[in-house]
A and B are shown apart, each in its own frame.
Chain A
Amino acid sequence: MPFKIINKLVLADQVKRIDIIAPNIARRINPGQFVSVAPEEDDEHIPLTVTAYDLIKGSIMLIFPEVGHTTKKLGAMHIHEEIYSVLGPLGRSARIGKEGLVVCIATGIRIAQILPICRAFRDKGNRIIGVIGAKTKRSLMLEPQMRLACDKLYIATNDGSYERRGQATDILGEVLEKNRIDCVYAIGSVEMMRAVCAMTGQKNIKTLVKLNPVMTDCMGMCGSCRVKVGGKMVLACIEGPEFNGFDVDFDDLEIRMNAYEENAQWGNLPSEHKTGNGGPKTLTKFLSGILKG
């Protein structure tokens, strides 16, 4: 099955959007589900949320930040190139019901994940207040789409370069005071989701969060996306990625998210083991040995 790129756009600073032909996935995808993508053979598979799909073209839209090795490679691919592997749809679909007044809050790259949720809530006849945040105006994306999907949209930038200065959670606090909210859907960093759950917990508002733990195979085989929910270890790729916000153990999640950060750990160990063994370094050492001898 060829997964051809048919469209590519730069949305914000280091954020790209690609549309891929994948009719089997487009036919079955639900809001909140994701796909696992490997740009070339033997590459790492990365989970990416599907922001939108087109049944006529049979295409899915992926939005990703170019931060890691694999996403940089994916971002460097051109229109008409074929992606090696796209597996999906994965995960459970979002629990979207008739709630009334819903607040959808997301920051940074997670705006791409909240957009399909907003649209699904809207299709069910809910009224939606959107709250999105970004570091600067340059890194804010999908603003027009969010304006269409939400009844009212608040925007916060950390440096004040656009609309309001501050955090998205500050706006959420005001919104919660002014209105009677029935449901809050939050996607963001661990601190942000923890803050949202603390706010809604006081008023006893239903809160759903979408977690983004590290995933290796996205099928439940590796166990790297294990999170503690309701006192029990579950796999986010099978039972999630959406969970009830009050059940999630955010301290545990923070440890898990931190576990793959290359720079954060092994401070007491020699630096060479960070690079692993073998690789080009060994080769250059070997070659320089030959040249010297």
Chain B
Amino acid sequence: MCVRACPLEINIPGFIRSLREGRVSDAYAIIREKSCLPSICGRICSAPCEVACVLNEEAAPIGIRALERYAADFGKGKLAKKQRLLYGGKKVAVIGSGPAGLSAAADLAQRGYQVTVYEAFDKPGGILRYGIPEFRVPKKTLDHEIDQIKALGVTIETNFLIGHTATLEEIRQKFSAVLLATGAGIPKFMDLPGTSLGGVYYGEEFLMRVNRAKSTFFSRGVPKLPLGQKIAVIGSGNTALDCARTGVRLGRQVTLIFRRLEEDMYVAEEERQYAKEEGIQFASLVKPVEILPDSNNFVRGLKCVRMDFADRDGSGNWEVAELPDSEFNLDVDTVVIAVGHNPNSLVGEGTPSLKINDDGTMQVRDNDSMTSIPGVFSAGNVRTNAGPVVEAMASGKKAAEDIDRYLRG
């Protein structure tokens, strides 16, 4: 069951058997067949396998994610080995070095293509580097995984922004195939009065500033942004939870505000428990209405309204609706909004022939990753809009297969 649930189709019983017999490096090799970022998956995967585990009916499921993390951390070799098999294959460009781009690049390199990965930031990793905080994916682990991928023969070029440094057309002429894995980079703007006030951040900015703060051996990185003592985080996804847990680590008092029930949050049960243990206050069934300004145009408080399930029209459909006269003010001085993202629109700039859907995602044919331009493929969140890391990786692998099929004719 678990193998079928895993988007990457890792042989889960196989590697657990190896682990039981004490052969950790064999277990690592089994995972590595399907997943090129095992130690990252072992940390942040949303673990659909554990939901599908057969033991769920009787007791708690097997902790597959933890086992994968163990196998990846202790089973891998100390040094990355150069294992490039073929030289002089066709050239493929991968735009974006996030989870989708990296797994596609690794897959293509293993199939013998010359892969170049382009990254806009100064370091590869995409969301894994600037979006996911250090305590979930240590930068050292990420660097190691990227070194492993580089050892496969993948070249990574940083400081390259598609559409600006070069257009898609120019890249297309240089390479046999192009994979767009630029992700969902633009925060969804929340329609809330007072979002321009000082002390209001979007989740991405908050995480990025904390992640890119310089930390040395002697000092922890201090993010360069004005931050109050009491933070309210709006949202119920992984980004919101990451923001909240980062806030706790900065020594702030954090309240997580979301409109649904705690059980309905889009995060793994384990993560939710961690967050509770760390002392984050959960305000479930609460909807923010307005951010209140003070005389300096900074956040003074957050006006919220309570929600509850209600059977409005008597049809038996229980919906979440606002409770009348339940407005209250939350005493906070910083608000972090993490309610989702939209795909980055910079890709299509200068390339009108690339067809883009109304919600900003790429148009693709059914069951194929090719976009409206032949030879240009797409993978990851730029196609699906919002999904967990493991789904982006699976989508990258699928795109690698499609590119392989396209180039073989």
Contact = CB atoms under 8 A, between A and B. Distances in A.
Interface residues of B, number: 53
Nearest to A225: B205
A269 B186 contact: no
A179 B69 CA distance: 73
B159 A1 contact: yes
Residue among B215, B298, B333 with the highest chain A CB neighbour number at 10 A: B298
B296 interface: yes
A130 interface: no
Given A1-B159, A273-B229, A223 B205 contact: yes
B232 to A, nearest CB: 16
B198 A260 contact: yes
B344 A279 contact: no
A277 interface: yes
Given A28-B165, A222-B208, A265 B226 contact: yes
Given A221-B185, A222-B202, A265 B220 contact: no
A259 B164 contact: no
A84 B120 CA distance: 13
Interface in A209-254: 216-217, 219-224, 226, 228, 233, 235, 238, 252
B176 interface: no
B176 to A, nearest CB: 22
B199 A259 contact: yes
Contact of A85 (B158, B189, B215): B158
Interface string B182-223: 000111010000011111111011001100111100111111
B1 interface: no
Contacts of A42: 212-215
Contacts of B198: 255, 258-261, 264-265
B250 interface: yes
B22 interface: no
Nearest to A277: B251
A280 interface: yes
Interface stretch (A87-95, A102-110, A150-158): A87-95
A38 B122 contact: yes
- A-side interface size class: 35 or more
B60 interface: no
A265 B298 contact: yes
Residue among A41, A222, A277 with the highest chain B CB neighbour number at 10 A: A222
A216 B208 CA distance: 8
A88 B122 CA distance: 12
A289 interface: no
Interface in B295-317: 296-298
B345 A277 contact: no
A256 interface: yes
A277 B220 contact: yes
B226 to A, nearest CB: 6
Interface in B235-267: 250-251
A279 B120 CA distance: 29
B407 interface: no
Residue among A45, A217, A223 with the highest chain B CB neighbour number at 10 A: A223
A279 B345 contact: no
B225 interface: yes
Given A217-B130, A256-B196, A279-B219, 10 more contacts: A28-B165, A42-B213, A85-B159, A216-B205, A238-B186, A238-B346, A255-B297, A265-B199, A269-B333, A277-B251
